[in-house]
Amino acid sequence: MQWDCQDVCYRRHMARAKKPAKVTKSTARRRAKPARSRADAERELLALAARLSTTAADAEPPPTSLRAALDELLTAYAADGALAAALIEARRGARGDKRASLALAWAREQLRLAIEELLAREAKADRLRAPLALDALAWLVLVAAESVIHEPPAAAVDRTDTLLALVHGPGD
Amino acid sequence: MQWDCQDVCYRRHMARAKKPAKVTKSTARRRAKPARSRADAERELLALAARLSTTAADAEPPPTSLRAALDELLTAYAADGALAAALIEARRGARGDKRASLALAWAREQLRLAIEELLAREAKADRLRAPLALDALAWLVLVAAESVIHEPPAAAVDRTDTLLALVHGPGD
C-alpha cells in the first residue's frame, strides 16, 4: 500500500508536473518574442526603406510621386499593420538592451536616409520650400510617420497634407 | 492506508498548490502593469501639458522662452525618464483595447493643445514663420518630442534647433 500511495502520488505528481513545464515553455516564448519582433521590425523597416529608395531613383519623377511615397510610408506605419505590431514589441524588448536598441536604431536610420533621398529629389526638381536642412526635414517626416502607430487611422489624410505643405510650402 | 495516501497526496498537493497560486499572483501583476502604466502615462502627459500651458500664459514672454519650453518638452520624453517607461508599457497594453487607446489619445491631445497654445503665443508676437496651420505645427512638434523615446539622448540639441527653425524660420 505504501508503494501504491507512492505510485498514486507519483502519477498525480506527473499529471500536475506537466503544468510547470507548460508555463516554462510559454515563459520562454514570451521572452523570445522581443528578439523575434526585433528581427521582424528591422526587416519591415529595411523593406520600406528599399521601396522608398526605388521610388527616389526615378529619373523623371512627376510632382505627385512625393504624395504617393508619403502615403506608402504612412500606410506602412498604420496601427493595425505588421510594422506597428513588431515595433511596439521590439521597442519594449530593446529597453535597457543597448545592442538591441542600436540594431533597431540602425534600421530606422536607413529609413530616414531613404526619406532624405526622396526629399533630395524634390530639392533637385526645385520643389523644396521647407526652412530646414534635408536631414532634419527627413527626420521630421520619419517621426510624423511613426506617430501613425499611436493615432486613429482617420487622421491619415491630414498627415499627408501637413507633410506636403511642410516640404513644398503652402498651397501645394 | 487509503486514507493515509489521500492525506499524503492532499498535503503534497497543498504544498505544491502554493506554486500555482504564486504564478497566478505574478500573472495578475503582469496583467495589471499596462493599466498602472497607462495611469502613469496619462498623469505624466497631463502634468507636462499643464506646465507648458503655464509657460504659454506668460503675459510678455521673452523670445527665448520657446526654446526653454521645447527643451522641457524634449527632456520629458527622454528614454530614461518616467514618461518614456510608462508610455512604452501603456501603449503595449492599449493595443487592441479601444477604451485604453482612447484614454491615452485624450491625454496626448491635451499635450498637443498645450503646444498649440505655446505656438499661438509665438504667432501673436509675430515670430511664427512655419508654412503650416497652428494645429498641424503643434502636432509636428509633439511627434518630434515623442521620437526622443527611440533616439540617443545626444541628439537632443539638434532636435530643439530643428523645431525652432521650423517655427521661427531659418536663422533663429
- Over residues A97-111, the mean pLDDT reads 90
Q: Is residue B17 part of a domain?
A: no
Q: Is residue A112's pLDDT more than 50?
A: yes
Q: Is residue B99 part of a domain?
A: yes
- A92 to chain B: nearest residue by CA? B88
Q: Is residue B4's pLDDT more than 80?
A: no
Q: Where are the alpha helices (DSSP H) in B57-97?
A: 65-76, 82-94
Q: In the prediction, which pLDDT does A93 show?
A: 85
State how far the Cα of B24 lies from the Cα of A113, in Å rounded to an integer.
47
Lowest mean pLDDT: which of A19-28, A35-44, B34-43, B143-152?
A: A19-28
pLDDT tens digits, one per residue of B26-47: 444 445 556 677 889 999 999 9
Query: And the C-alpha cell for A31?
Result: 521572452
Q: Is residue B4 part of a domain?
A: no
Q: In the prediction, which pLDDT does B111 show?
A: 96
CB A120 within 8 A of CB A54: no
pLDDT over 70 for what percent of chain B?
73
- Over residues B116-127, the mean pLDDT reads 91
CB B166 within 8 A of CB A141: no
Interface contact flag, A150 B88, Cβ < 8 Å? no
Q: Is residue A50 part of a domain?
A: yes
Read off the pLDDT band of A15 (50, 70, 90): very low
Q: In the prediction, which pLDDT does B43 show?
A: 93
Q: Quick one: CA torsion of A52, A57, A59, A62, rounded to 10 degrees?
A: 10
- Over residues A20-44, the mean pLDDT reads 64
Q: Which residue, chain included where needed, has cell 508536473?
A: A17
- Over residues A85-103, the mean pLDDT reads 86
pLDDT, chain A, mean: 79
Number of domain units in chain A: 1
Q: In the prediction, which pLDDT does B151 show?
A: 79
CA distance B56 to chain A (A): 24
Residue B101 CA neighbour count, 13 Å, CB half: 14
- Distances in Å between the alpha carbon of A135 and those of A113, B39, B59, B119, B137? 8, 36, 36, 24, 19
Query: And the C-alpha cell for B140?
Result: 509636428
Q: Is residue B8 part of a domain?
A: no
Q: Is residue B38 part of a domain?
A: yes
Residues of A contacting chain B (CB within 8 angstroms): 1-2, 4-5, 8-9, 12-13, 16, 19-20, 23, 85, 88-89, 91-92, 95, 104-105, 108, 129-132, 136, 139-140, 142-144, 146-147, 149-152, 158, 162, 165-166, 169-170
List Cβ neighbours of A104 (8 Å cut-off, separation of 6 or more).
A38, A41, A42, A90, A91, A94, B150
- Over residues A107-113, the mean pLDDT reads 94
Q: In the prediction, which pLDDT does B141 show?
A: 95
Residue-range definition of the domain harbouring residue A39: 33-168
CATH number at residue B161: 1.10.357.10
Query: Taking the CB of residue B168, how many other CB atoms lie within 10 A of it?
Result: 18
State how far the Cα of B132 lies from the Cα of A131, in Å rounded to an integer.
12
Interface contact flag, B131 A105, Cβ < 8 Å? no
Q: In the prediction, which pLDDT does B98 show?
A: 85
Q: Is residue B22 part of a domain?
A: no
Q: Is residue B95 part of a domain?
A: yes
The crossing angle, in degrees rounded to 10, of helices A98-124 and A82-94 is 130
Query: Taking the CB of residue A126, how many other CB atoms lie within 10 A of it?
Result: 7
3-state secondary structure of B71: helix
